[in-house]
Amino acid sequence: MFLFISRPTRTLGNRMQEIRERLGADFAAKLDALHRNALRTGLVSIEELQEAFRKTRDIGHNPNRLNLLWLLGIMFFIMVATPVFYETISFLLGVRCFLPNNYLVWEATRPISDCEFCKGVKAPLILANLTMEEFAPHAYSSLPIIVKKAVAHWPAQQHLNYSYIKDLYESFPDSMESDCQFQHFNSDLKSLKDVWAMSEERSNLSHGAPWFVGWSVCHPGVLAELRKLYPRPHFLPVDAEMPHADFILMGYEQGAVMHLDYIPRLMWQAQLKGNKSWFLAPAPECDHQCQPLSFYVEPGDAVLVDTRIWYHANTIPKGQFSLTVQSEYG
């Protein structure tokens, strides 16, 4: 082994000496270091030495490495700089949220699903009206659940409608200015002011385009009055934490487009008026293990869906007015 290595070493040494004499001491020292490293790694010819030099030189100029750095830089810009930009613009324009539904950022930052929640799920679990004890085994399930006629006895089902809610808001003048979340979905109504400013003909769809909106009832006075017309669903666990605001969704035909909810708890909805069709889909990474499903709910039904993990969309039958109260528990 020693002879095999020592012979070409002397050849390389002679050549390196010639080069050293022609070049400066600094460069020659670098060549010496390269030479010693080459010997340590067992290189035996000039060609192998040249190949080692090429590889050393290319480490700093690897085009794939540069592409990866660019990609990471662009991802960092989208995930960090974009929200900062929109928040800054929102602040400068004096509006609450310049981009209310930054689904691109939410989608980019949501955790990857393990798909356990949707494996084998082909339909919602449909339960007859039941007690808290009977509901307990299902209370924190990720399986979509319909509890039939669970809210049919609520006064809200008889009394709540567009005019009642409009009058209630107008009885609290500061409620129009409150900083509550508003979703206009596909409609042209951009705020609650627009909703209450509709003509009667547009509001009941006897004239004009269909509309569908949803908003957080975060004004304490309005919320207190509304909650006189509905309790929390009687079958929910008694120790379930409830939020400080509920959500109202109402309108015609259009419904909510496919989305995830970025909320801290499980969701329940009380379908007060109209039928509503639900379309659920697993996260895209679960497409090969799970399947989408659809169902509909009728007035008086309660529906429970973990809308944080199920993508969901709704439609309302043509010509029907849908009114839903939504809240959270957990």
Which residues of this chain interact with Fe ion, rule CB under 5 A?
Answer: 261, 307
Q: Which is nearer to Fe ion, 253 or 306 (CB)?
A: 306
Paired residues of 267 in beta bridges: 305, 328
Q: Quickly tell me which residue has 């009885």 as its tokens.
A: 171
Q: How far is the CB of 312 from Fe ion (least distance, A)?
A: 6
Q: How far is the CB of 130 from Fe ion (least distance, A)?
A: 25
Q: Which is nearer to Fe ion, 261 or 328 (CB)?
A: 261
Q: Which is nearer to Fe ion, 156 or 303 (CB)?
A: 303
Give the residue nearest to Fe ion (CB): 261
DSSP 40-96: HTT--SHHHHHHHHHHHHHHTT-HHHHHHHHHHHHHHIIIIIHHHHHHHHHHHHT-S
Amino acid at 151: V
Contacts of 137 by beta carbon, 8 Å cutoff, 6+ apart: none
Amino acid at 62: N
Phi/psi class of residue 252: alpha, beta or left (left: φ > 0; alpha: ψ in -120 to 50)?
A: beta
> Beta strand 276-281 with 266-273: parallel, antiparallel or unpaired?
unpaired
Q: How far is the CB of 82 from Fe ion (least distance, A)?
A: 23
Cβ atoms of 244 and 308 within 8 Å: the answer is: no
Cβ atoms of 166 and 183 within 8 Å: the answer is: no
Half-sphere exposure of 74 (CA within 13 A, CB side): 6
Q: How far is the CB of 307 from Fe ion (least distance, A)?
A: 5
Q: Which is nearer to Fe ion, 28 or 263 (CB)?
A: 263
Q: Which is nearer to Fe ion, 38 or 217 (CB)?
A: 217
Q: How far is the CB of 263 from Fe ion (least distance, A)?
A: 8
Amino acid at 330: G
Task: Specify the 3-state DSSP secondary structure of 305.
Answer: strand
Sign of the C-alpha dihedral computed for residues 197, 200, 202 and 203 taken in this order: positive
Q: How far is the CB of 269 from Fe ion (least distance, A)?
A: 9
Q: Which is nearer to Fe ion, 261 or 306 (CB)?
A: 261
Q: Quick one: which of 242, 245, 300 has its CA closest to 271?
A: 300
Cβ atoms of 304 and 265 within 8 Å: the answer is: no
Q: Tokens standing for 54?
A: 């090429």
Q: Which is nearer to Fe ion, 253 or 261 (CB)?
A: 261
Sign of the C-alpha dihedral computed for residues 138, 140, 144 and 145 taken in this order: positive
Q: Which is nearer to Fe ion, 129 or 324 (CB)?
A: 324
Q: How far is the CB of 305 from Fe ion (least distance, A)?
A: 9
Q: Which is nearer to Fe ion, 12 or 252 (CB)?
A: 252
Q: How far is the CB of 306 from Fe ion (least distance, A)?
A: 11
Distance CA 307, CA 45 (A): 66
Q: How far is the CB of 326 from Fe ion (least distance, A)?
A: 8
